[in-house]
A and B are shown apart, each in its own frame.
Chain A
Amino acid sequence: MASTNEARAASQARLAGLGFTLPAVAWILLFFGAPLVIMAIYSLLPLDAEGAPGGFSLDAYRQFFGESAYVEAVWNSVVTTAVVVVVSLLLAYPFAYILAYRVPKRWQRLAIACAILPFWTSYVVRSYAWLLVLAPTGIVNWVLINLGVVARPITLAYNPSATELGFVHFFIMLNALTIYANLVQINPRYVLAAQDLGASSWKSFLAVTFPLSIPGMTVGAFLTVVLCIGDFITPQILGGNKELLLPQVIMMQIQRQLDLPMASVMSLVLTLIVAVVYLLLQRQMRMARL
């Protein structure tokens, strides 16, 4: 008797738990899962020469990998993302390290808050703000001219370096945050133990602190890849129109060519790149307890 009651209570609990969770799951499946499936189907239904949908084929994929401009855009995106990841990690690490170990504890929260302040300006406005800085009449050129360093404005905006600068500015904040969160969790006794055993401060950093901070760096790097490789705004505002990145080419397919199947192929390629990066970094990220 008792056992059937228990079984009933357990199955009721199971139903209630499902009942609470299902609306959220349904939303994701309906508005994220299903659209992805539709997108995958679209990518297999390329437009013919007249721009009308034809039958099922892999033509859109063939066309994508056969078109050098598209493959170049993928390459540009991968290179830009790689440069941005490396440069932001290199710049953010010492910054996070100083914040975590050199800045007095009670100032750290404020210091971190200030360091990620521009994070909260509008996303479109942030790239625009860099344009204000880098434009021919912008503040950098103005200072350089007034100091007599250059005679006429130098070109700073509208090239791939400007895109990378805009990205690095954003991701230095993000990486500083994940690395800092990781560093403050490392037990200081480990470093003390290493130094008691005769390690120099440089050696104890290399042998103890640095390896223990790799998970934080990995999380930062992955977030950088996800957000950077899919970003349309920063390259569009700062990058000029010579070396296009994948999201720009995708937007062009949607707005100018009205070719959704091709845009779908490109979006799937983009997602595939992110998925590969995820698989590569997965093990390290699991270890992060941020």
Chain B
Amino acid sequence: MRWSSRLGNALSGFYLTACYVFILLPVAVLILFSFQDGRLPVPPFHGPTLKWYVTAFTNERMMAGLGNSLLVGIGSSALSVILGFLAAYGISRYEFAARRLLQGIIILPLAVSYLLVGMGLLVTLSSLGLGPSLWMVVVGHVVINMPLAFAICLAQLGEHQRKVEWAAKDLGASTFRVLTAVTMPMIAPALIAAFCLCFTLSWDEFIIAFLVTRFDVTLPIVIWTMLRGGLNPQTNAVGSFIFLCSILMLVAVEFLLFRKRRA
């Protein structure tokens, strides 16, 4: 091997390592000090102990926030996938005028800040004289996640599925029957993956939830409130727990969406 290419490899390895250290450092510190046996999540490390996880899981505000987050996450993701799937089906299976326009409208929210979506809903609530509520978080999360579910479904509704649908129609199945007995089972992995992705994004979303709720807040806002008290191992514990949940969701997505396609 020439010395220059060996030098190149060494430099590449060094750069790659440096990047990984930079990227993974905060998460590593977060998780490590969630096991800190002491009042502050800073070095030196003592422990490990699980007491901060116990504290977090017996914290009522935290658990209420977790409950709300699960509710919003499941509700908004289910709605996003249903609406997104139906729209993707309509766009990919039927020829009609304004198809491009409607598709453009559906994916528009992908190109704006969440702040704008939240502000819009807040101003709307105020103009209608309504108070903030958890329902508005669901509404907002469908606005930001449905375009994503739509795009995933659209990418999966290919020619292969179309032929099977035609076969079912020739055999006398109604449109509804084709949809529920043929199309949906065929792209079920994509639907579940879309659901998981929407859920991960929803249960982590801050600004919309912050703007349109007041008392029945979601988990990220409970954490936000806790941050005002400074560094606290309990926050580390909750953060590590959320991280674990998201990773599990993503492993599910990877398994359902990508393994299938590669096979």
Contacts and interface: CB of A to CB of B under 8 A. Distances in A.
A282 B42 CA distance: 45
Interface string A29-44: 1011111101100100
Interface in B204-263: 204-207, 211, 219-220, 223-224, 227, 231, 235-236, 238-239, 242-243, 246-247, 250, 254
Looking at chain B's contact residues, is the secondary structure mostly helix, strand, loop, or mixed? helix
Interface string B153-178: 00000000000000000000001000
Contacts of A19: 90
B102 to A, nearest CB: 5
Contacts of B106: 21, 24-25, 28
Contact of B24 (A23, A114, A237, A274): A114
Contacts of A102: 9, 12, 16
Interface in A101-116: 102-103, 113-115
Query: Which has the most chain B C-beta neighbours within 10 Å: A28, A138, A263?
Result: A28
Interface stretch (A65-73, A123-131, A190-198, A206-214): A123-131
A45 to B, nearest CB: 10
B238 to A, nearest CB: 7
Nearest to B121: A35
Interface in A247-262: 247, 250, 254, 260
A121 B30 contact: yes
Query: Which has the most chain B C-beta neighbours within 10 Å: A38, A113, A115?
Result: A38
Contact of A122 (B24, B96, B112, B223): B223
Contacts of A33: 105
Contacts of B247: 117, 120
Nearest to B29: A132
A121 B227 CA distance: 16
> Which size bracket describes the interface of A in this complex?
35 or more
Given A232-B115, A278-B111, A35 B204 contact: no
A87 to B, nearest CB: 12
B26 interface: yes
Nearest to A142: B43
Nearest to A138: B42
A91 interface: yes
Contacts of B123: 35, 38-39, 42, 260, 264
A57 interface: no
Interface in B76-135: 83-84, 86-87, 89-91, 93-97, 99, 102, 105-106, 108-109, 111-117, 119-124, 126-127
A27 B82 CA distance: 12
Nearest to B150: A24
A133 B29 contact: yes
Contacts of B127: 38, 42
Contact of A230 (B42, B116, B139): B116
B227 to A, nearest CB: 6
A25 B87 contact: yes
A181 interface: no
B228 to A, nearest CB: 10
A176 B16 CA distance: 12
B149 to A, nearest CB: 9
A39 B120 contact: yes
Contacts of A21: 86-87, 90-91, 99, 102, 106
B244 to A, nearest CB: 10
Nearest to A35: B120
Contacts of B122: 254, 260
A150 interface: no
A115 B220 contact: no
A17 B26 contact: no
Contacts of B94: 13-14, 16-18, 20
Interface of B: 9, 12, 15-16, 19-20, 22-27, 29-30, 33, 40-44, 83-84, 86-87, 89-91, 93-97, 99, 102, 105-106, 108-109, 111-117, 119-124, 126-127, 139-140, 142-143, 146-147, 150, 175, 200, 204-207, 211, 219-220, 223-224, 227, 231, 235-236, 238-239, 242-243, 246-247, 250, 254
Interface of A: 10, 13-14, 16-21, 23-25, 27-29, 31-36, 38-39, 42, 91, 94-95, 98-99, 102-103, 113-115, 117-118, 120-126, 128-133, 135, 137-139, 142, 169, 172-173, 176, 226-227, 229-233, 237, 247, 250, 254, 260, 263-264, 267, 270-271, 274, 278
22 contacts: A14-B96, A17-B95, A20-B91, A21-B99, A24-B87, A27-B143, A29-B105, A32-B120, A35-B123, A39-B123, A102-B12, A113-B254, A114-B24, A121-B243, A122-B204, A137-B42, A139-B42, A139-B43, A172-B23, A230-B116, A254-B122, A274-B112
